[in-house]
């Protein structure tokens, strides 16, 4: 399990977290399961290139949109368990 601290939250869209020298984006994916109304949050490590833009909210929104469209493209960067620390 990875412990991370929230550094930015875009309510209902994504959360940006920091864990040591790594950054994680947690994206809310609506209706994740077929024929259901369950929304699921999935967590992904940001690449070094994406980390350069971590202060650009519009850039992060675009990443969140890409993840929602096809989260499987990001599955190699998925983080299974994240514990939020205060």
Q: pLDDT in tens for each of the 86 residues of the chain?
A: 899 999 999 988 999 999 999 999 999 888 777 787 888 889 999 999 999 999 999 999 999 999 999 989 999 999 999 999 87
pTM equals 0.89
DSSP structure class, residue 76? G
Burial status of residue 49 (CB atoms within 10 A of its CB: 0-12, 13-18, 19 or more): exposed
Tokens for 7, please give them.
């550094």
DSSP structure class, residue 47? P
Give me the number of domains the chain comprises.
Answer: 1
Phi, psi dihedrals of residue 69, rounded to the nearest 5° = -65, -40
Q: Which domain holds residue 77?
A: 2-84
């Amino acid at each position: 399990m990875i412990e991370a601290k929230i550094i930015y939250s875009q309510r209902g869209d994504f959360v940006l977290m920091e864990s040591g020298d790594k950054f994680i984006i947690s994206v809310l994916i609506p209706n994740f399961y077929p024929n259901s109304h369950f929304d699921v949050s999935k967590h992904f490590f940001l690449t070094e290139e994406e980390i350069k833009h971590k202060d650009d909210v519009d850039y992060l929104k675009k990443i969140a949109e890409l993840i929602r469209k096809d989260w499987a493209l990001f599955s190699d960067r998925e983080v299974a368990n994240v514990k939020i620390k205060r």
